[in-house]
Chain A
Amino acid sequence: ETGVTQTPRHLVMGMTNKKSLKCEQHLGHNAMYWYKQSAKKPLELMFVYSLEERVENNSVPSRFSPECPNSSHLFLHLHTLQPEDSALYLCASSQETGEKLFFGSGTQLSVL
């Protein structure tokens, strides 16, 4: 157990659905991240929040919308996704940006 909890563990959605991924960290960290892990590709950084402010958006399509209401919670809102968005979405946190990351177990997303 890393102290970073992600729900749901698995999600299947149609291209017209709206869903949200949730991440919660109990470590008192100041930075939280969303990563996308696709088969045979490097982990891709999607979003970074530091002290609840977004500091990085790596040209992620607008159909992915992050939300960080406080330093312990991070959401990824999904709408009108494409089948190529199917992947494992990992949340991570760190004390400060650039430091050791603590990862959650991920949400395995399948878009039909």
Chain B
Amino acid sequence: AQSVSQHNHHVILSEAASLELGCNYSYGGTVNLFWYVQYPGQHLQLLLKYFSGDPLVKGIKGFEAEFIKSKFSFNLRKPSVQWSDTAEYFCAVTSSGAGSYQLTFGKGTKLSVIP
């Protein structure tokens, strides 16, 4: 069975600091990887995704993530955070291929950005 580990439960940063949120998964086959974000009082929404190709994926709002297959990792990064990035971030993985639906989420990392 696949699983996702997000090592940081809560990260607190000042504005303009750089961000890196860790995500590791366990699954032996080919995967699709996602980062979802939940802003306070809002629904979960997709931040970025990796299916294939360039392992460095760029998403909305200046976020990017790098898929490192050898490390089973898909860390989320942003060079300079803003107060509006305060949210909870969820990494998720599913096996690739037709009919795949078992999207497994990590526990989430809460990011608090201090003005």
* B87 nearest CB across to chain A (Å): 14
Of B14-22, B63-71, B76-84, B96-104, which stretch is located at the interface?
B96-104
Contact between B101 and A100, CB atoms less than 8 A apart: no
Interface residues on B, range: 20 to 34
Q: Which residues in B have their C-beta under 8 angstroms from that of A101?
A: 36, 44, 46, 103
Interface residues on A, range: 20 to 34
A55 lies within 8 A of chain B by Cβ:
yes
- Flag B73-115 by CB within 8 Å of A: 1 or 0 each: 0000000000000000010101111111111111110000000
Knowing A42-B4, A42-B107 are in contact, say whether A104-B101 is a contact too (CB < 8 A): no
Which residues 40-82 in A have Cβ within 8 Å of B in the complex?
40-43, 45, 48, 50, 55-56
B61 lies within 8 A of chain A by Cβ:
no
Chain A interface residues toward B at CB < 8 A: 2, 4, 31, 33, 40-43, 45, 48, 50, 55-56, 90, 92, 97-98, 100-101, 103-106
